[in-house]
Copies of this chain bind each other. A is one copy, B any other.
Amino acid sequence: MATIGDVAQVAGVSRSTASNVLSGNKRTSPEIQERVRRAVDTLGYTPNAGARALATSQTRVIGLLARFLDDEFAPAMLQYILGVSNTARELGYDILLVSEADGARALQRITSSLMVDGVVLLNVAERDDRLDVLRGANRPGVLVGLPGDPSGLDVFDLDFAETGRLMVQHLARLGHRELLLVSQPDHVVERGGAYVWRLRDAAVEEARLRGVTLRTVAAAPSQPEVGADLRAALDAHPDVTGLLVSNEAAAAALPFVLRDRGLESPRDVSVVGRFSAEFARTFSLPYTSIESAPDRLGQLAVRQLVRRIESPGGREEAHGVRFISPELVDRGSTGAPRPADGGTIAG
A residues near B (Cβ < 8 Å) are 1, 44, 46-54, 59, 61, 64, 68, 73-75, 77-78, 81-82, 85-86, 89, 94-100, 108-110, 112-115, 138, 222-224, 227, 252-253, 255-256, 259-260, 281-284
Contact A96 B99 (CB under 8 A): no
Given contacts A46-B112, A256-B259, 20 further A-B contacts (CB under 8 A): A1-B112, A46-B109, A47-B113, A49-B113, A50-B50, A53-B53, A68-B82, A75-B78, A78-B78, A85-B99, A86-B100, A89-B99, A94-B110, A95-B99, A96-B97, A222-B281, A224-B284, A253-B284, A255-B256, A256-B284
Residues of B within 8 A of A138 (CB): 1
* CA A81 to CA B281, docked complex, whole Å: 21
Contacts of A52 in B (CB 8 A): 50
Complex CA distance for A96 and B109, rounded to whole angstroms: 15
Q: Which residue of the partner chain B has the closest CB to A1?
A: B138
A98 to B53, CA, bound (A): 19
Write out the residue numbers on chain B whose beta carbons fall within 8 Å of the beta carbon of A94: 96, 98, 110, 115
Question: A97 touches which one: B46, B85, B227 (CB < 8 A)?
Answer: B85
Inter-subunit contact A49/B53 (CB<8 Å): yes
Are B100 and A89 in contact, CB atoms less than 8 angstroms apart?
yes
Residues of B within 8 A of A259 (CB): 256, 259-260
Q: Which residues of B contact A108 (CB under 8 A)?
A: 46
List residues of chain B with CB within 8 A of the CB of A227.
284
Q: What residues of chain B lie closer than 8 Å to A281, measured between beta carbons? A: 222-223
